[in-house]
Each structure stands twice: as C-alpha cells, then as structure tokens.
Amino acid sequence: MDWFNGLHPVIQALLATTFTWAVTALGAAGGFAAKQLSRRTLDGMLGFAAGVMIAASYWSLLAPAIEMSEGKDIPIWVPPAVGFLVGGIFLWGIDKMLPHLHIGFSAEETEGIKTSWRWTTLIMEMCHNSKGNR
C-alpha cells in the first residue's frame, strides 16, 4: 500500500472511485449474465448487500460519530442516535413523498405524491422487489 499512499490525494480518490465503480459494474454484470436467479439466491444476495451496508455505516459513520462525541456534557451515544433517527425519518419521508414504483408492482401501485410520470421514470428503487418487502 506504500505506492498508493505516495500518490497525490486526487489520484488516490480517482483510483478508489474507479475501483468501486469496477466492482459495482462487475456485480451488476453478474445479474445481467444470469438468465434466471432463484428467490433463495436473490434473498442471499440482498442479505449480503445489507450486511455490507450495515457494517460500512457502522465503521465509517456511527463509530467515528460516537468517538467524536466524547468530552461533551451529554452521553456519547446521544448525538449519533439522534442523527441516526433523523436520517431514518428522512428516508421514510422521502419514500412517502417522492413518486416511485417498486420493481414487480403494477403501474397502479405507485407510491408517493400522485404524478403523471411514466412508469419507467417511477421505477427508481431497486431494493424492494416483491410485495412482501414493501
């Protein structure tokens, strides 16, 4: 990793971004290449992605926020907990307000504010792909 640390920060950011783009594209290519994935495989893949995202959000966001809260007049867990709840409420509000359609749902089952947008515009959330995960 010494070669990487010796690079200019802009080049480091470019390489890191290119790497994450490449592995994301590789994962997406696997989805396109597979003709038919079983429900069990999809559930496993979603669970894996959820685990990665939870771990990344803890170690990259929550743990540093807890560490930065030390030395204040309030318990160290309060600022991160408040931020976590506000972030969750914000995403819940976006889901309720922004017009969208979950994959696998009919055009009549749009969520959010009513709109005349076409169904291709409304399909923007990929994480919920069945009626049970609404």
Sole binder of Zn ion in the list 45, 61, 66, 95 (CB under 5 A): 95
From the list 6-14, 25-33, 39-47, 103-111, the region that binds Zn ion by CB under 5 A is 103-111
Task: Tell which positions 23-62 bind Zn ion, by CB under 5 A.
Answer: none
Q: Which residue, 86 or 94, has its beta carbon nearer to Zn ion? A: 94
From the list 7-15, 50-58, 81-89, 107-115, the region that binds Zn ion by CB under 5 A is 107-115
H or E segment to which residue 91 belongs: helix 78-97
Q: How far is the CB of 131 from Zn ion (least distance, A)?
A: 12
Asked whether 94 and 127 are in contact (CB, 8 A), the reply is: no
Query: Residue 123, interface with Zn ion (CB under 5 A)?
Result: no
Q: Which residue, 25 or 91, has its beta carbon nearer to Zn ion? A: 91
Asked whether 102 and 111 are in contact (CB, 8 A), the reply is: yes
Nearest Cα neighbor of 130 from 109, 102, 108, 94 is 102
* Beta strands 101-102; 123-125: pairing state: parallel
Query: Residue 111, interface with Zn ion (CB under 5 A)?
Result: yes
Asked whether 110 and 122 are in contact (CB, 8 A), the reply is: yes
For Zn ion, the binding residues (CB under 5 A) are 95, 111
